Amino acid sequence: MYKIDKLNELAKVVAAKRAENAALEPRRMTAEEKDELLAHFHPDYKQDEFTVLSAGVNKGDKVPTQLAALLQGKSRISASDVDLSAPDYDTDVLIIGGGGAGASAAIEADEAGVKAMIVTKLRIGDANTMMAEGGIQAADKPNDSPAIHFLDAFGGGHFAAKPELVKKLVTKAPEAIQWLNKLGVEFDKESDGTMVTTHGGGTSRKRMHAAKDYSGAEIMRTLRDEVINRGIPVIDFTAAVEIILDENGKAAGAVLMNMETKELLVARAKTVIIATGGAGRLHYQGFPTSNHYGATADGLILGYRVGAKLLYADTLQYHPTGTGYPEQIFGALVTEKVRSLGAKLVNIDGDVFMHPLETRDVTAASIIRECTAHDKGIETNLGKAIWLDTPMIEYIHGEGTIEKRIPAMMRMFGKYGIDIRKEPILVYPTLHYQNGGLDISDDCATGVENLYAAGEVAGGIHGRNRLMGNSLLDVIVFGRNAGIYASAKAKETAVPEKLTLEHIEKFNNELKVCGAASEVASPMLLPHYARKK
């Protein structure tokens, strides 16, 4: 590991080449070069990090090994632990998860005039939505269109996304921005009121709308206020541990567990929306994560056990620029907006080794290659990293740009004595997003009747790689969509009479028969390093 003095020495190499590097127009990689790079350096291609499922609807498919252990894990309850005859809560639409998708769904359900209720294992807003920084995409400028947005997103996802989902994502995007704007999100605007938009990796038009570099926090703040102002019930510190079905196999509620007392509660509902977010806290392949504390794949487990199918659960997003140094913020997100504003990725020799706005999977793989095969990384106490030349932003756009456009980044590094206006920072890929999830159709239905999914827990919208800003968009578009469809379905559904948890025993038996039963308690609820009694 280099000492701080040595890092300062190496940073001088970056400063010396800044003017030359700022003028560079690095070429884009060809499709063949990208394929070759991904196959050798992207973590999704490391076959020994995946396990083939032996049980459930995705039997025969490979998923990350940590996820397989949970999907084939042991329920936290057995049917006899719960009295299903006397529900503690009765609602029309039960929403599991208090992030952007859950809150958007709840607002639409309330708007539709049905009874909605949110349950969340932490608090409303403790979610990856809150952590998103750089922005939200929408094709609402004269030189852009939803069709161009479609091509960018579909191509960026390696043509694997479900076209009907991408169509919904892009065509509903301009309306989503207007909806958020009306609710009170403080988007960055020019003095005439037009929204400021920038590029992200893989975008052919500037369509990233942002609230500085805390776009997700600003959006979540607004949604949370709206949920509270409408008086929608939010049951916090209460996790869903099993979906309840009715005698016809339709979703009819969930078993809840108070996170503090471990008391079990029953919520009966006509329809259920899973909006539990992602899985970064499973730390696949030992990567650090940019995700919030509760991102433990719970929704995938809840859905899978009652027969909802997974799509592309083997594809993860490693955000190219997680913090590589200092170790107190190792893996924390360094927004892609830093590169949108002109900062380039530079190796130990001060050389730019790639175009800074390739898609995320390609950029992450390229950084990994630079640090491994090319041996051009900078050693830190936690491994190798690459320079992100942040002072280049002010070299290009002038003094004051960083404080104005990415103040959260400036503050985050400033706490550790690093002034990103003057010094480059060290970055390395961090586990950021699950590209796949519960397979949904364009009404957010999962295939298990009356069970819906929205937000990061859903798969198929982004194919095998997501573009920046399409996640904040997805939680709004598909969160609202799930709220609308689940409410319409609830209106034509009677209160479920017979509630069952028979699926637990059925799934256990399947696990036993195929020899895959494990003692891992799932859903996980909190990361393994959570506070223990």
| Interface ranges with ligand MEZ (CB under 6 A) | 132-135, 335-337, 468-469, 471
Q: Read off φ and ψ for residue 386, nearest 5 degrees.
A: -125, 150
- List the one residue out of 289, 270, 299, 273 whose CA is nearest residue 492: 270
Q: Taking the complex as a whole, how short is the minimal distance between the CB of residue 180 and ligand MEZ, in angstroms?
A: 14
Longest Cα–Cα distance in the chain: 73
C-alpha neighbours within 13 Å on the C-beta side of residue 13: 15
Structure tokens at 483: 């709220």
Count of H helices and E strands in the chain? 18, 23
Find out whether 174 and 473 touch, Cβ atoms under 8 Å.
no
Q: Taking the complex as a whole, how short is the minimal distance between the CB of residue 437 and ligand MEZ, in angstroms?
A: 15
Q: What does the alpha-carbon distance between residue 262 and residue 281 come to, in Å, rounded to a whole number?
A: 22
Q: Find the helix or strand (DSSP H, E) in which 388 lies.
A: strand 383-388
Known catalytic residue at 369: yes
Which single residue brings its beta carbon nearest to ligand MEZ? 134
Buried b (16+ CB within 10 A) or exposed e, 479-503: bbbbbbbbbebbeebeebeebbbeb
Which residue is associated with the tokens 């806290």? 281
Q: Taking the complex as a whole, how short is the minimal distance between the CB of residue 376 and ligand MEZ, in angstroms?
A: 23
- ω into 523 cis (within 30 of 0): yes
Find out whether 137 and 208 touch, Cβ atoms under 8 Å.
yes
Q: What does the alpha-carbon distance between residue 81 and residue 286 come to, in Å, rounded to a whole number?
A: 35
Active-site pick, 224, 268, 305, 369 = 369
C-alpha neighbours within 13 Å on the C-beta side of residue 488: 9
Q: DSSP secondary-structure letter at 495?
A: P
Structure tokens at 369: 């290659």
Q: What does the alpha-carbon distance between residue 158 and residue 202 come to, in Å, rounded to a whole number?
A: 12
Q: What does the alpha-carbon distance between residue 128 and residue 157 come to, in Å, rounded to a whole number?
A: 20
C-beta closer to ligand MEZ: residue 109 or 368: 368
Q: DSSP secondary-structure letter at 193?
A: S
Q: What string of H, E and C letters represents the secondary structure of 322-372? A: EECCCHHHCCCECCCHHHHCCCCEECCCCCECCCCCCCHHHHHHHHHHHHC
Q: What does the alpha-carbon distance between residue 114 and residue 148 come to, in Å, rounded to a whole number?
A: 36
Q: Which residues participate in catalysis according to the annotation? A: 369
